[in-house]
Structure formats: structure tokens, C-alpha cells
Chains A and B, each alone.
Chain A
């Protein structure tokens, strides 16, 4: 190598280093001269969305961002509990024909997409009813890799056929039409009382066709919506949202949002009544999966909100029932105990002849006794105490406490552990340590899951089940686990189900025969009576009769011992006291961001931010 060559190489190296430095240090947000005066809310998430395309908003993290970047026709009232729907982009609740088949929805005037190069002249245009039609069609286009089609599959006239015909966007769907720029009409195949709920999901958010076609696959990281915020930055560490200055002017009415002065006066929301959201200029959403890092960021004041890690509950809580904040922390933070809108349950694979259905009626009966013994042996109190700090809510069945149809009276009686009853069942059915089948308990590999398995094994040992016959079946990732149980290869499957909307139909379908694997009925449970009731209730609007049917279905599943269920976890949400807000991880989800506002003494909300 000559000296000259060495010098050239040095220059090339220096140039590359300079380019690298400029790329790595390209965060211009700190150079904003007015940055220090703007209101910033920093909301830490304990996981990250992979995509910001509403068609792929399948997890809570993606939904939270989707409903802020995009508009949905409906949303849930900010403060009303139980949860209630309210119009969002829609002008009012849908007009429904007498037969429940035709929904007509008007959208509000003045809704505009944000400015973006995908529009002519870069200027965002008005949102039209046809945009909604396009957005729903995308779910049925295989190219989109959408995850929300199940909400409308076999529901809307002509939509499934449109997919079979090749998903040509210029071809009309008879049951999904824009009557004019502001009027939308949906024609159903049969009544679907939950339709309005599906229109409050992130999946149903309205996207402009120009942007989807302009960005192609990268639309997932270049959101172009009409929501209260627009995206400034998104990467694996977090997202930064800026207020959409063109968001429609619609004042907040606390009364319309379900404000309850008796229980919510402490939140400091009164001053917001009549003001126009969104109230914060900027929302930063760091994704912090590691519990310790999330807690440290919160304590250091770098984020305003966290879902508290269970490992910190000892430090955070002064009491468990109801959960209250320790005196030290209550000077700086507010707490909300948010019962999750779902539940954790362990399903038996009814397709497995060793534990589930069997062609021989005697063996089928013995298998049922075995399952019921296992259900009786499960100690929900211990599970709650060890893994959920004793603040989860165990209940019997498949209707969780957040569902309006939850039967509090029934669930108080169960699930009680009954070791003697379990042993009796085994004995009467002729099961003994020698002839019991090997139980394979599946889970994705993690320390907590392993501990849960070991606890399950100890429960089984209490009824005389040989420990060497209760075996772990581990998977490297959740995707591998899902593949196995959706292919009916796992005998005992533990999963969490988060309800999509507050209607027990959403959990009943978990045990509907037609939804067996690879559908969401991972128990592969088939009971003709249950299925008949499911079909009968599917078209019924909410009513005492429908609730009664749901409860009957609940009993059927529990009597068949198809699942060990369940527990709803209580999430401890903590936020900076300087903020006037009521956070929620259930159905309101990310919709509350627009209502977050500075409260008394909001000095720390202005200026430099953490991420």
C-alpha cells in the first residue's frame, strides 16, 4: 500500500464517518425553537407495534396508535363505565332498518386527511364515504395481509364474493356502498348487532387510497390519516405524534362522555368541558418492554404514564383491595386499577382422544371426568397470588367481568378448588397413576410461563397425578406456539383473549364449533346445543333474553370441562398528577389521547422530552 493510497483511504474513511455521524444524529426535533413551549405527553407502552397500517392493527399497541393517526366511525365514550359507543367520524349512531340488515351512516363534514405528497399538490383532501368503503375492502384483499377481515367475514353482502372475484377495487360491493360523499350504506347478510362495535376498532380506520398506492408496503410506516394526531417519527424504540392542526373542531362535553362527578372529580377534568381537543401538542410513545427500564424511566420523570410492572407492585401499592397508591408515590402520581377486557384460560384440545372427544362413549365419559378433575384441581387463588399479585379477578366460565353479560352471582360460587371432588372423579372413572395419560402443557419459552407450568404440575400432584406425566411442551416463539395449537398439536393450550368489543358474543365465539382450529376455538370444542344457541343469539340485539342464552352457553362449556377458566388481570396504570386524564387499556384504548390535558401545575409537561 503506498502512502498516497493510505491517505486516500483515510479520507474515504473520514467521509464515511461524517456521513454516519450525520445519519445517526439526524434528530431535528431538538432544534425546534418553540419546542420548549409546547405541551408534551409521554405515554410509555410495554410493547411495540410492528406496523401502523390499520389493516394490521391486531394488537393493543398498534390499535392505540392507529386510532390517533386515523379516524374511525365510532369510538367508546371517554369516561362512561360500562363502556358505551359514541360517534367519532360518524355524525350520529347508525340508522338501522327494521329488519336489522341495512345500516346507513352519515359522516361529519369537514374531516380532512393530513397533507401528504400522495395527494395532488401535497394537500390533504376531505374524507369521503368512499374512503371507508375502500378501507374495509382492503381487509379482503390478500395483498394487504390484513388481519381484520374476520370482523366482517360472511357478514356484508357481496364482500366475500368480491375477494373471490380477485379483489378489484373498481368493482362495487353491493352491501358496501357510498351513497354520496358523506353517506355510507352497509347491507348485511343477516342481522349483526355488533356491527357498530366493529366500526370502533382500529381495523376499521379510514385510509386514503392515494396514500396506500403511493407508499405500497411502506404505507405501514407512512400513515396518512385524519385522526387527531399525525406521525412525526416511528422506529423500534418509539413513536412521536404531532397534533393534527386540521382535525375537526368538536368541543368536549363531559356529560356526553359519561362523566361521573362522584367518582371522577379527582381527575381534574372539569376545566376541559367545552374546550376543543386534542389538547396536547405532541405525544411521545416510547416502547419499553423491559419492566425495570420502564419503571426507571417513569421514576426519573422521563415518561408521564406507564402500565406498572408487577415486580414493582410491592413498592407501588399501599393496599390491594381496592388497589391504592403508597403515600410516597401519591404525591406525584395518580393510579387507576384497570381490569382487563379479557381473560386468561387453559383449553383442553378436545380433538385429542387422550383427553377430549373419543369415539367410544365410555372412554369419552372417562375423559370428561379426567378433565373435570383437572379443572377442580386448579387453584385460581394461588395462580392469582403468585403471578398477579392477588389483584386479578378469578371467575368461572368464559364471560369475563368486563363483559356486560357477566353473571356476578354465578361467578362468586366458583372457581373453587376441590381436591376431594377431583380425586373422587378420578377414582369413579377408573383413573389411577398408572393409566392416566401424559398431559402435555404447551407454552412459549419464558421464565414466567415455565413457572406457571410448574405450578400447574404441582396442582396436579395434589390430586395424585404423577409429576412425570405432566410435561412441558415449549416453543421458541409465540408464533411457533400459535402454529402448533392452531394445527391441533397441543393438548393443553394457555392463551389470553382480549375482547374486541364489550359483548360476550366475542368470547362465545371462542367455543363455537365452526371456529375450531385454525379458527379461534383452540379447544376445538363442538357441542351441538352450544352451537345452536350461538347461532340463535348471533342475530339478537342486547336483551335480557340474549344474556340468559349467553349464560346458558357459559354453563354448557363449564359442564363439559372444555377449559380451565379463568382470570382477568388487573392492570395498574400510573400517571403524572400534573395531567388531567383517565387512561384506559380496554375498549377506550388509545382514544383517550386526544383528551389528555395539562392539569394544575403542569410545568413538567412543557419542553424537552425523553425519547
Chain B
């Protein structure tokens, strides 16, 4: 029992340290370099007393350590306060926006990785041939074009009378599968276009390394078919870095990945809420997003480790 508990306790302690470290650094940055919201909340011709009153209400005049302590307490109790800008409870805001971001990003994320793995495998298998060069060229093209340009181009192409005019330009009025597909298609295609290049290049490199290993040569020598080699030996043995990459992308995809898409397509998810909180200096929202992202990272690290150990017992 002790053998099981000790590493677990060590992991939890490390996770706790990580959360404290991340929150401390991010809070320090927020306090020192973040926008001062006072001057967007005061009225015209405010007096110095009124400015001081607002600063006091925002807690700007409290000692740093006290503010940080309150922040940690908020994270532990999940009592995340209210947005300084809108007055909405941060918990309500997260409950309203995070699910939207998730269902918005999941198709692009899944397809981006799925297509990346498939093309990476094909490219690695046919390394140096015309199809490999074609996939590489497409990947580099996807990586080279700014996401913003892709968004504008896709919007014009799929959603306006200048193009196909098949999907809505923006918005999120989803009440079932049909409307979901209607609203999610263009953002998903844009995300796919931008991410497949990065994913394909990563997975290609990974598979090339795997293909060059001794056990693959041995399998070939024993007469295994190419499909068995690719699917059973190369892909299966690459699962640890694949899982690691996918798992660690999740918090970033939810928060920062959706930021541009949500702003541009008018989708009320957590990315847009975070962007507004960053630009306006709405610290309760920012603190919650940063803190919960840190916790999500730690949890995912923990999960990833469990998964990887299951996939490769040598890691245990």
C-alpha cells in the first residue's frame, strides 16, 4: 500500500507546487502588467476620491500577498467572484461559455489530429516520393498563412454572396444537430486548414523515426505486410507521444485556440470572454481562467501519465 501511496502523494505534492507556481507568476504578471480597470469604470470628471474608491473596491490597494492568498482561496472554494465589467458571477460565466467552446472546438481538434496522423503516416511511409512532397507542400502552405487571413477567406468563400453562401457568416443559434452543423462547419474547416500542417509535420517526423527502428526492420524481414507494419507496429508504438501531444493541447485549444474563432464568428465562448477580460483587465475572470487552466494542465498531466503507463508498461 505504501508503495502505491508514496508516489501518488509525491505526484500530488508536485502538482500542488506547479499550480502554486503558475498561479503566482500569472497573478504577478496580472497585477504588475495587466490593464488598470479603474479608469474604464470611473465616470467623467471623477475626483481623486472617487478614483480611490473604485481602486479600493477593485482591491488594487490591498497588499500583494493578501490578494494572492484570496485568489488561492477562491480557487480552492471555487467561489470565483463576479466579473468587474458585467457583474456576472464568474462561475455562471464559465458554465455558460466553456461548453460552447468545447463543442465548437472538438470537431476541428479531432479532425485536425486525425487528418494529421493519417497524412503523417502516409507521408512517412512514402518518404521522399511525390505524395510525400505534396503533403509537405500542403502542410507548409497551411502553416504559412495567418489564421486571421484564413478566417476571413473562409468566411467570404463559404458564407457570403461573393462565394458559396452556404453557411452563416457568424453567430451561434444551436438547438440541434442540424443547426450545430450549420454553425460549426466553417470554423471547423478554418481550424482544420490551419492545424493540419503543424500536426502532419509533427506526426510525420514521429513516424519516420519509428519506421527506422530495429523492430520495424525485423517485422519486415519476417514478412509482415505494410498495413500491419504501419497500423500495428508504427502507430501503436507511437501512441505515447501522440497521446501526450493531444492531451497537452486540450487546455490551450479550449482557451486560446478558440479566441480568434469566437471573436471573428461571434460565438459566445470562453475564448471571447477571456479576450475581453484581458483587454479590459477584468481580473476576476482572468484569475479564474488562468487558475483553472493551470489546474486543468496538472490534471491532464496526471491523466496522461496514467494513460502512457497503460500503453507502455515500461514507463511504470
- Cβ proximity bits B83-125 to A, threshold 8 Å, 1 near / 0 not: 0011111001001111110111000000000000000000000
| Bound CA–CA A496/B251 (angstroms) | 39
Nearest CB of chain A from residue B234's CB, rounded to whole Å: 25
Residues of A within 8 Å of B33, CB to CB, are 476
Nearest CB of chain A from residue B135's CB, rounded to whole Å: 31
Tally of chain B residues near chain A (CB < 8 A): 69
A288 and B266 contact, Cβ closer than 8 Å, known pairs A27-B173, A476-B35, A479-B35: yes
In the complex formed, the residue of B with least CB distance to A286 is B266
Interface size class of A (residues with CB under 8 A): 35 or more
A 266-318 contacts with B by CB, 8 A: 286-290, 292-293, 296-297, 299-300, 302
Nearest CB of chain A from residue B196's CB, rounded to whole Å: 24
Nearest CB of chain A from residue B175's CB, rounded to whole Å: 4
| Bound CA–CA A99/B86 (angstroms) | 42
In the complex formed, the residue of A with least CB distance to B310 is A1
Is the beta-carbon distance between B169 and A297 smaller than 8 angstroms?
yes
Nearest CB of chain B from residue A150's CB, rounded to whole Å: 4
| Bound CA–CA A48/B276 (angstroms) | 10
A 17-33 contacts with B by CB, 8 A: 19-21, 23-31
From B40, B51, B103, A24 is in contact (CB under 8 Å) with B103
Residues of A within 8 Å of B159, CB to CB, are 296, 300
Q: Number of contacts between A and B (CB, 8 Å)?
A: 187
Residues of A within 8 Å of B100, CB to CB, are 23-24
| Bound CA–CA A101/B25 (angstroms) | 57
Nearest CB of chain B from residue A326's CB, rounded to whole Å: 15
Is the beta-carbon distance between A287 and B155 smaller than 8 angstroms?
no
| Bound CA–CA A237/B265 (angstroms) | 9
A 135-159 contacts with B by CB, 8 A: 142, 145-150, 153
B301 at interface by CB-CB < 8 Å: no
Nearest CB of chain B from residue A367's CB, rounded to whole Å: 26
Residues of A within 8 Å of B45, CB to CB, are 150, 153, 509, 515, 519-520
Is the beta-carbon distance between B169 and A146 smaller than 8 angstroms?
no
Is the beta-carbon distance between B87 and A479 smaller than 8 angstroms?
no
Residues of B within 8 Å of A24, CB to CB, are 99-100, 102-104, 174
Is the beta-carbon distance between B170 and A147 smaller than 8 angstroms?
no
Is the beta-carbon distance between B172 and A288 smaller than 8 angstroms?
no
B197 at interface by CB-CB < 8 Å: no
In the complex formed, the residue of A with least CB distance to B275 is A236
The 19 sampled A-B contact pairs (Cβ below 8 Å) are: A23-B95, A25-B176, A30-B173, A147-B44, A150-B44, A219-B87, A221-B87, A237-B267, A300-B168, A476-B33, A479-B37, A479-B40, A479-B280, A480-B35, A482-B39, A483-B36, A486-B39, A519-B47, A610-B169
Residues on A lying within 8 angstroms of B by beta carbon are 1, 19-21, 23-31, 48, 50-51, 53, 58, 142, 145-150, 153, 216-221, 235-238, 286-290, 292-293, 296-297, 299-300, 302, 476-480, 482-483, 486, 509, 515, 518-520, 609-611
